[in-house]
Amino acid sequence: MKPYKNKINRIRSFALALIFIGFVIMYLGIFFRSNQLVMLIFMLLGVVAIIASTAVYAWIGLLSTKAVQVVCPNCGKYTKVLGRVDMCMYCREPLTLDPNLEGKEFDEDYNRKASMEKK
Ligand SMILES: [Zn+2]
């Protein structure tokens, strides 16, 4: 079984990773002190990664307002569902907003298929 995660949580960890990547790139730039141009490029890349992560955080905020808040039937906590199928943020219980998919095995492809049909 694939390691599924709640989408909002997954994007959030991606944004967090971007910040770390940005700092690592900037840190690497220090090793090229002798070459100012290379150091500058590293610094710029690091700043870009951090700006990108800020943008991703803003995107999460936007997605959160679109996500549907539901009470997880398994753990009873409030969680947010994005798309047709998603997972509980706390216990990874598969959740769906589409009654046709209820009881079916959790498959993230339902989201992809739904988006493909629209095109
Ligand atoms: Zn839950």
pTM summary value: 0.73
CA 97 to centroid of ligand 1, rounded, Å? 15
Least confident of 34-38, 44-48, 89-93, 115-119: 115-119
Query: In the 3-class helix/strand/coil scheme, how is the chain assigned residue by residue?
Result: CCCCCCHHHHHHHHHHHHHHHHHHHHHHHHCCCCCHHHHHHHHHHHHHHHHHHHHHHHHHHHHHHHCEEEECCCCCCEEEECCCEEECCCCCCEEECCHHHCCCCCCCHHHHHHHHHHC
Average pLDDT in the 34-55 region?
94
Rounded to the nearest whole angstrom, what is the distance from the C-alpha of residue 76 to the centroid of ligand 1?
6
Kindly report the number of other CB atoms within 10 A of residue 19's CB atom: 17
Residue 21 has pLDDT above 70, yes or no: yes
Average pLDDT over residues 9-21: 94
In sequence order, the β-bridge partners of residue 79 are 70
pLDDT at 20: 96
pLDDT the model gives residue 109: 77
Residue 39 has pLDDT above 90, yes or no: yes
Pairing between β-strand 68-71 and β-strand 78-81 as defined by DSSP bridges: antiparallel
Residue 64 makes CB contacts below 8 A (sequence gap 6+) with 8, 80
CA Rg value for the chain: 19
CA of 75 to the centre of ligand 1 (A): 4
